[in-house]
Amino acid sequence: MGYSTLFESYLNDLSSRSSAPGGGSAASLVFSIGVSLIEMAVNFSINKDNKHRLNKSLSLFKRTEKKVLSYVDLDADIFREVLKLKGVKRKSFLRKLNNITFDLGVSCIRILTAAAGIRRLIKKGIMSDFDIGIKCIRAALFASVKNMEANSKFFGIKNTAKTKYLRKYLKKI
């Protein structure tokens, strides 16, 4: 089975009139694709002189990617519940959704910071993939900010400090 077949169902759901999956789920997938590209560049760049440093970064990338990849489904599942529920239960799910969205943003910052620290160790021949990965993670950070703002506007979630923190870093890049 080819990769396009694996993604087809998700993309069909994403493009439908259904409210989930949506931007949070897609941002998590884009983040995971970005980290995978960075991991590939790191794997091609490991040599005896930089092995310890790059393996340490690779470990962080893999752990973070695994966690955020689970958000592709979790974000969609939680958002479906938010739309079904009312009252206290809805607020509980909204908090979960907001925590996932913020954690995605923080994960973006963590990976962008770590990647900047190893950029000079990446082989020139694979640098384009590394840079595409960085752009994907920046897009996921942008999406986190937009989703935090939307959650605040449409659901009344008070997350000004968290949104401000993510937006501050987004302006730097």
| Beta carbons within 8 Å of 161's beta carbon, 6+ residues apart | none
The residue written with tokens 């989703």 in the block is 147
**3-class DSSP assignment, residue 7:** helix
pLDDT at 166: 92
- Considering only 14-18, 84-88, 131-135, which range has the smallest mean pLDDT? 84-88
**Residue 48 has what pLDDT?**
96
pLDDT tens across 114-154, in order? Answer: 999 999 999 999 999 999 999 999 999 999 999 999 888 88
Its pTM stands at: 0.93
What is the total count of domains within the chain?
1
Answer whether residue 33 is part of any domain. yes
Q: Distance (Å, rounded) from C-alpha 133 to C-alpha 117?
A: 15
Q: What is the mean pLDDT of the chain?
A: 93
| Residues of the domain holding 65 | 21-172
- The label of the residue with tokens 């942008």 reads 142
> Residue 85 sits in a domain of what CATH number?
1.20.120.680
